[in-house]
């Protein structure tokens, strides 16, 4: 006789506490906890190398928390559920909603299959502060601009739900199923795994600990300090949020306890941008691959493999750009100010389509979230919703002088420049050779000359924008 159970399907919610689907499943019955690495998706929607390494470690942490009762499967999720429902008598399947288009389509297939055999499919919103499909303008259409979305849509809709009280999941233990967690390890890039060990702690406990660190050290000067990459005023919670090791609701209400209203409000608005990105993706399924503003389909982009590789490798000869790209390759993370600087340099100074940058970030970021990554790159390019206008072109020299005035960030990630005084650091190619030689430094040998002239490339970008307008 088959055992009667319910199934909780973990996805980007790799935590126990404040996990709605796990909570509801545990209240109903003994719960089989599963995670499915669905390799049937198109390659661009599969996790990048950095994300796969984090995912594997996070699943191991979750499995340990569940006393080794997490069952991991590799394959098409539809087929996995067909196997599980023949092996057990399942009354309900619980999961938390995903707002990514390929997952929505897969959920529909699974729901149809389960419905045919009399099994309930239950989904909850446990990854966003608000149900994004419900945040609409008064006329029922989606928002295109962040401020009204957040202030008139989200904040007027009501307070986010408070986190659930802590609970112990009602886990079903099965010897009939063999977890493929170890098989998943064969997909992991060892270099990225080493970078996690060196720079990060992974899992639910680590996420909660990182939140505490931010509340103690970062929030007090968040609004201003967050722009300086060498400061400790950013939360570094984005990978934990992406994998659901912590919920946005836990963060929202923990931040509420801080009485520094100016910084708290600004941090909450950043959580609001995360909501906005997911809203854009939900109502625009082609958002990761197509320009939100169709006029950019006429933009005269260029592509040069050697130039692009210099950008990827952090060898552009522009110190702040190289520092950002090397932070990415060394740590799987990049400070938000640097994401804007290196992104602007790629799409405007180099005229390379934003999708190339998005693909590289997808490969290298531990927080490679489909909605945030797509929205961020389209914002930088000027092609997105509420985007920075195309003619807003970051000057990397001025950006580094303003936000890395002591050069600490540059010197940390571009150590070959560390022998230079600060006044030479931001544009060493402008310094006379005789001056550089005093510090035993030679451009072209110790550090490359810039791959492009900033003044020329800025004007070229503006001219290209004008040509796009003439074509549309």
Per the CB < 8 A criterion, the answer to whether 46 and 82 are in contact is no
**Mean of pLDDT values over 27-54:** 95
Residue 187 in any domain: the answer is: no
Among 272, 282, 236, 279, CA closest to 252: 272
The helix (run of H) or strand (run of E) holding residue 92 is: strand 89-96
Q: Taking the CA atoms of the chain, what radius of gyration do you get in angstroms?
A: 24
pTM above 0.85, yes or no: yes
**Mean of pLDDT values over 281-286:** 96
Residues 325, 252 share a domain: no
Q: Residue 391's domain spans which residues?
A: 294-471
Residues 147, 119 share a domain: no
Among 283, 308, 337, residue at a domain's last position: 283
Q: Which residues contact 22 (CB under 8 A, 6 or more apart)?
A: 8, 10, 13, 16, 31, 33, 94, 169
Q: What integer pLDDT is reported at residue 471 of this predicted model?
A: 57
Q: What CATH number does the domain containing 311 carry?
A: 1.10.579.10
Residues 253, 373 share a domain: no
As for how many domains the chain has, the answer is 3
Tell me: the pLDDT tens digits for 222-266? Answer: 999 999 999 888 999 999 999 999 999 999 999 988 778 889 999
User: In 66-184, where does DSSP find H-type helix?
Assistant: 77-87, 101-116, 146-148, 155-157, 181-184
Q: What integer pLDDT is reported at residue 470 of this predicted model?
A: 58
Residue with tokens 């008598």: 89
Residues 463, 375 share a domain: yes
Tell me: the pLDDT tens digits for 350-361? Answer: 999 999 999 999
Is residue 389 pLDDT above 80, yes or no?
no
**Mean of pLDDT values over 20-42:** 96
Eight-state DSSP code of residue 34 = E
Q: How do beta strands 31-37 and 89-96 pair?
A: unpaired
Is residue 472 pLDDT above 60, yes or no?
no
Residues 229, 82 share a domain: no
Residues 405, 315 share a domain: yes
Residues 270, 221 share a domain: yes
Tell me: the pLDDT tens digits for 321-375? Answer: 999 999 999 999 999 999 999 999 999 999 999 999 999 999 999 999 999 999 9
Q: What integer pLDDT is reported at residue 95 of this predicted model?
A: 98
The helix (run of H) or strand (run of E) holding residue 36 is: strand 31-37
Residues 134, 111 share a domain: no
Residues 366, 231 share a domain: no
């Amino acid at each position: 006789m088959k055992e009667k159970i319910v199934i909780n399907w973990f996805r980007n919610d790799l935590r126990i506490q404040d996990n709605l689907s796990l909570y509801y499943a545990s209240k109903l019955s003994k719960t089989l906890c599963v995670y499915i690495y669905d390799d049937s998706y198109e390659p661009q929607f599969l996790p990048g190398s950095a994300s796969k390494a984090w995912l594997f470690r996070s699943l191991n942490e979750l499995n340990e928390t569940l006393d080794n009762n997490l069952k991991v499967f590799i394959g098409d999720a539809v087929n996995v559920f067909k196997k599980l429902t023949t092996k057990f008598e399942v009354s309900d399947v619980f999961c938390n909603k995903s707002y990514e288009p390929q997952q929505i389509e897969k959920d529909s297939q699974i729901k149809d299959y389960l419905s045919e055999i009399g099994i309930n499919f239950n989904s909850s919103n446990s990854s966003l502060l608000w149900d994004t499909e419900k945040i609409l303008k008064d006329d029922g259409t989606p928002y295109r601009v962040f401020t009204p979305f957040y202030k008139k849509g989200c904040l007027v809709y009501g307070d986010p739900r408070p986190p659930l009280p802590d609970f112990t999941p009602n886990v079903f233990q099965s010897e009939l199923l063999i977890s493929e967690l170890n098989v998943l390890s064969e997909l992991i890039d060892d270099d990225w795994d080493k970078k996690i060990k060196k720079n990060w702690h992974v899992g639910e406990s680590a996420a909660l600990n990182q939140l505490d660190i931010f509340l103690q050290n970062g929030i007090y000067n968040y609004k201003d300090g967050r722009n300086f990459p060498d400061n400790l005023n950013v939360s570094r919670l984005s990978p934990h949020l992406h994998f659901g090791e912590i919920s946005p609701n836990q963060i929202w209400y923990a931040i509420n306890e801080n009485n520094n209203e100016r910084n708290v409000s600004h941090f909450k608005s950043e959580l609001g941008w995360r909501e906005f990105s997911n809203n854009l993706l939900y109502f625009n399924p082609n958002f990761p691959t197509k320009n939100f503003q169709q006029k950019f389909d006429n933009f005269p982009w260029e592509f040069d493999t050697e130039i692009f590789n210099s950008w990827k490798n952090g060898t552009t000869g522009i110190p702040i750009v190289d520092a950002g790209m090397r932070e990415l390759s060394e740590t799987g993370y990049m400070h938000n100010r640097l994401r804007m600087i290196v992104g602007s340099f790629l799409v405007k100074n180099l005229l390379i389509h934003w999708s190339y940058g998005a693909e590289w970030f997808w490969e290298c970021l531990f927080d490679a979230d489909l909605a945030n990554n797509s929205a961020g790159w389209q914002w930088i390019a000027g092609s997105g919703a509420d985007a920075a206008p195309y003619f807003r072109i970051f000057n990397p020299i001025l950006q580094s002088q303003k936000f890395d005035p002591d050069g600490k960030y540059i010197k940390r990630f571009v150590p070959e420049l560390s022998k230079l005084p600060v006044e030479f650091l931001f544009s060493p190619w402008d310094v006379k050779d005789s001056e550089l030689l005093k510090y035993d430094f030679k451009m072209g040998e110790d550090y490359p000359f810039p791959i492009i002239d900033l003044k020329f490339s800025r004007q070229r970008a503006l001219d290209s924008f004008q040509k796009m307008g003439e074509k549309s």
